[in-house]
């Protein structure tokens, strides 16, 4: 996508809205797995940050140490969120081409 494409999109808000809706659909269809504890805790999330599944290996469930399980759950969640953000950035970079770097100028 070059500057002329961007100018065309700005002149056609419906096309811009359509492209945004397509990006949202791609993200909703995305499925990532966050892991912790060497794969003993796994969380599957989609691109809209919905939690789809949680898998916990029985050996990490220790009633005498609930803090460990909490830490593993948080770590798996954070890993999944990181993977979603990475996928979103890659999608934006693909759709914007060389202009993708301009998105961060205001931050």
Segment 40-79, tens digit of pLDDT? 999 999 998 999 999 999 999 999 999 999 999 999 999 9
Asked if residue 103 belongs to a domain, the reply is: no
Host domain of residue 53: 29-98
Q: Assess contact for 44 and 76: CB atoms under 8 A.
A: no
Asked if residue 7 belongs to a domain, the reply is: no
Asked if residue 5 belongs to a domain, the reply is: no
Asked if residue 51 belongs to a domain, the reply is: yes
What is the predicted pLDDT for the residue at 102? 54
Asked if residue 17 belongs to a domain, the reply is: no
Asked if residue 79 belongs to a domain, the reply is: yes
Number of domain units in the chain: 1
The CA distances from residue 42 to 15, 20, 81, 96, 106, in Å, are: 38, 30, 12, 32, 35
Q: CA dihedral defined by 75, 81, 83, 89, rounded to 10 degrees?
A: -150
Asked if residue 87 belongs to a domain, the reply is: yes
Asked if residue 81 belongs to a domain, the reply is: yes
What is the predicted pLDDT for the residue at 107? 43
């Amino acid at each position: 996508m070059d500057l002329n494409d961007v100018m065309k999109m700005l002149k056609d808000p419906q096309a811009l809205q359509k492209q945004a809706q397509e990006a949202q659909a791609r993200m909703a269809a995305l499925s990532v797995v966050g892991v912790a504890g060497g794969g003993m805790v796994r969380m599957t999330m989609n691109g809209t940050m919905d939690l789809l599944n949680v898998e916990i290996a029985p050996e990490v469930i220790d009633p005498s140490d609930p803090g460990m399980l909490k830490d593993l759950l948080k770590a798996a969640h954070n890993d999944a969120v990181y993977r979603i953000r990475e996928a979103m950035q890659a999608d934006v970079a693909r759709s914007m081409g060389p202009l993708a770097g301009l998105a961060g100028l205001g931050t």
